[in-house]
Structure 1
Amino acid sequence: MNDHSETPVAPIEPFEPPYYVAVFTTVRTQEQHGYSETNARMEELVKDVPGYLGMDHAQTPGGLGITVGYFRDADALTQWRSNTEHRTAQQRGRDEWYESYTLHVAKVERSHGFTRRP
């Protein structure tokens, strides 16, 4: 939900296909101790993965969260998935922070966008 007094946000620009997306959809638990710090660390850590292109986030008022990570190729996605610190955060998410989640990985074959210009 966007309050018009906030700085406008925009989705990640389209990339030249093919590339990969990891769509992570979550419902969080009430226990969120340490989540913000770990999430910030993961957002910094993933930037070091060669082939990482960017990330979009959305959160509904009802608590459904969606994060979409964009990766140039399957090797970049595999490197992120197998990162030791990321795997530790994943386990903590299952143990503490997530009521449920789904992960969808897809190869993007077409991509385009639109931005209204003043």
Structure 2
Amino acid sequence: MSDHSITPVAAHEPPYYAAVFTSVRTDDDGGYGETAERMEELVKDIPGYLGMDQAHTPGGLSITVGYFRDADAIREWSGHAEHRTAQRRGRAEWYERYTLHIARVERSHEFERTPGD
């Protein structure tokens, strides 16, 4: 049974960009949740930010995909002072490992089941 309260970010008119952050956390949780919430608030103020999807596996793998209108928006987010501080703390405390991939989206579409489908 699916959870219909979970909604992926809508498809946008290409081209746009996706920043794919895949991580495995350490056991250190000190302040992580509060910092993650703060980052989710701050990124919304970046001009060109389009939304974010997140998924977590039972084994501890997390994937966050941030969508941005252009590469300048990603650069602005990457250089944001509070985000830079959180990145340093993530490397020092919260992440065993992570990868970041920046991709240009060339094609995008969506589907939503309607009642009766």
CA deviation after TM superposition for structure 1 residue 69, in Å: 0.1
Q: Could you say what secondary structure the match of 1:22 adopts?
A: strand
Give the ranges of 4+ consecutive aligned residues of structure 1 lying more than 2 Å apart after TM superposition. Answer: none
Q: Could you say what secondary structure the match of 1:48 adopts?
A: coil
Q: Separation in 2 of the partners of 1:79 and 1:8?
A: 31
Structure 2 residues not aligned, in runs of 5+: none
Aligned length: 115
Give the alignment's Cα RMSD to 1 decimal.
1.1
Give runs of aligned pairs for residues 1-118 of structure 1, distance below 5 A. 8-118=5-115
CA deviation after TM superposition for structure 1 residue 10, in Å: 1.7
Q: Separation in 2 of the partners of 1:43 and 1:98?
A: 18
Residues 15-41 of structure 1 show CA distances to partners (whole Å, capped at 9, x for unaligned) of 000000000000000001000000000
CA deviation after TM superposition for structure 1 residue 8, in Å: 2.5
Identical aligned residues as a percent: 66
Q: Could you say what secondary structure the match of 1:16 adopts?
A: coil
TM-score between the two structures when normalised by the length of structure 1: 0.94
Q: Could you say what secondary structure the match of 1:66 adopts?
A: strand
Structure 1 residues not aligned, in runs of 5+: none
Matched AA of 1:22: A
Q: Could you say what secondary structure the match of 1:113 adopts?
A: coil
Q: Separation in 2 of the partners of 1:52 and 1:8?
A: 22
